[in-house]
Structure 1
Amino acid sequence: MTTTTAPTTAITITPARVLRSEWHKLRTVRSTWITLLASAALLLGVGILMGATYTSDGGDSDVDTVVLTLYGSQLGVIALAVLGILVTAGEYATGMIRATLTAVPRRLPVLWAKATVYTATVFTISLLTALLTFLTAQIFLSDTDQAASLTDDGVLTAVAGNAAGVTLLGLIALGLGAALRSVPGAIGAFVGGVLIVPQILGMLPYEAMDTVVKYFPTQAAAALGSATPLQDAASPGAALLALLLWATAALAVPALLLEHRDV
């Protein structure tokens, strides 16, 4: 008697398939939409509040219009950072990372796919929300000294810079989550290392420290989101380069760990 074996077709793991897999995981997890909606609601809600309560004689006329209307991004970025951490450290918490790395044994494509999908999603949502917030706030500011339009010099660039800044901060958080493999640990590292440490360093009585702090992530992100140059801040080009370097470093660490450490 002859036994026949059905032919098996090997599935080739391509970058496109890894990207699709990571996009499927991101969009089907409820926490993704909770954190994205929380970030958008904070940005829009604070923007409307700032616009509705602003008066020309209130002492804030020297505040940049984009900074004023998008002030809520300072709160929203925390939600985006939590999302970035959940994208990576969340898989270690559930144990799903073992199945993911078994399917993609080269490992590094998983990290790059997670970073790519996160960046594209968060930047798109952040940019659309920032545009909506700015335009909505301007309804209330139209008769004040903060009236502006997207066609004014530097405004659209600053709105896009705000979205880029919060996205890159979230990408740093994603890298921390992948490196520490712990959701609470990565959240603590982000809040302490990215948000609090620069504030402490800025209070030290050393002139050189002021120069260094300008290029820390949160300070660089603030420089990107202003239509007019901020005092004692890096230029937008230098701020963007600094943020890109921080994000690259945050991803380089888990990339090395993935190559040399067991799951």
Structure 2
Amino acid sequence: MAAPQGPPALVPPPPPAPAAPAPPSAWQQAMNNAYTSPIPVTKTHIGHALTSEWTKIKSVRSTMWTLGIFLVLVIGIGLLVAAQTEPRDYVDVPFTIPAFFGLVLGQICLITLGVLVTSSEYGTGMIRTTFTASPQRHRVLAAKFLIFFAIAFVFSAVSIFLVGSATESMNSGPEAADIAWTGTVFKGALYVSLLGVLALAAGSMLRHSAGAITAMLGVVLVPAILPAFLMISESTKALGEKMMDYNAPNSLAKIFAIDSETGGNGTSQLWLLIVVTAVAVAGAFALLEKRDV
């Protein structure tokens, strides 16, 4: 008799065949075929803005003309004045005094260049391209200030030093006292350079070349003329005397020890200009972010 058989064993079905991969979409194909630049991508910093501003300021004709006229005025007038002096004229004054007469006129060149560094871009509309390439506006303005100040200070210091060296070689002798004059090179160059920085801040705030230049000429010339009228009245005489001491021409005169009778070496006038320039620069940065271009 045959033994009873159990239920048949269950056999698992074969695994399904793997599905064919879906063809890549058009977007994936575009991403796979995207162009990869061989130029390394680096994070932007202030050095890039400095390079850009240096390229711009050395490429425009206004820089060449204003700095060229500045050198002609300071060095040319300085040497002409030095040629008319004698060793006894430098008994109690430094040899850089002839440079003062050129700086009184040359400072107008630095003021004009300072305004044009920023206002010319607003006038032509190129400031939009600049801020598109560098959206961080404060970095662009900081680079303008640094580049302009470096150029103005170097040109001013070199021109004053050349005049002082030439004057010393023409008038050296036992009648001329050995008065240190290198300090006037630094302070004189710093003063006129700060005037240019103040003009740059004015150009950034006003955004108009003619208006900013006119405003800066008023800052330089009005304090030199107004004291003559203020000192007529006793009530405004003190104000007129103070304004006379701190206007730009008299400040330079004190730095170069021309007005030795009243004393002082121009340090307080220099500090006042530093404070005024710092306030103007802060105002330029504040307005830069609040206004559209």
Give the TM bin, normalised by the shorter chain: 0.7 to 0.9
What is the distance in 2 between the residues matched to 1:174 and 1:231? 34
Change in Cα spacing, 1:195 to 1:62, as seen in structure 2 (3 Å) is farther
The more displaced of 134-143 and 3-12 is 3-12
Residue 217 of structure 1 contacts residue 243 of structure 1 at CA under 8 Å; is this kept in 2? no
Q: Which residue of 1 aligns with 2:166?
A: 136
Q: What SS does the aligned partner of 1:131 have?
A: helix
Q: Which residue of 1 aligns with 2:7?
A: none
Q: Which residue of 2 aligns with 1:159?
A: 185
Q: What SS does the aligned partner of 1:188 have?
A: helix
Q: CA deviation at 1:141?
A: 2.6
Structure 2: gaps of 5 or more residues: 1-23, 232-236
What is the distance in 2 between the residues matched to 1:92 and 1:19? 19
Q: Which residue of 2 aligns with 1:105?
A: 135
Q: CA deviation at 1:207?
A: 1.4
- Confirm or deny that 1:76 pairs with 2:106: yes
Residue 215 of structure 1 contacts residue 234 of structure 1 at CA under 8 Å; is this kept in 2? no
- Confirm or deny that 1:238 pairs with 2:268: yes
- Aligned residues between the structures: 256
What is the distance in 1 between the residues matched to 2:261 and 2:196? 25
Aligned counterparts, 1:1-263, within 5 A:
2-4=29-31, 5-7=34-36, 12-55=43-86, 65-142=95-172, 147=176, 152-153=179-180, 155-192=181-218, 194-203=219-228, 204-205=230-231, 206-224=237-255, 226-227=256-257, 230-232=260-262, 235-263=265-293
Change in Cα spacing, 1:220 to 1:95, as seen in structure 2 (3 Å) is same
Q: CA deviation at 1:138?
A: 2.9
Give identity over the alignment, percent: 34
The TM-score with structure 1 as length reference comes to 0.85
Q: Deviations over 1:67-112 (max 9, x none)?
A: 3343211111111111111101111112111111122222111111
Root-mean-square deviation (CA, aligned residues, Å) is 2.7
What is the distance in 2 between the residues matched to 1:117 and 1:180? 20
Q: CA deviation at 1:55?
A: 4.8
Residue 221 of structure 1 contacts residue 243 of structure 1 at CA under 8 Å; is this kept in 2? no
What is the distance in 1 between the residues matched to 2:127 and 2:250? 33
What is the distance in 2 between the residues matched to 1:222 and 1:109? 36
The TM-score with structure 2 as length reference comes to 0.77
* Counterpart amino acid of residue 246 in structure 1: V
Structure 1: gaps of 5 or more residues: none
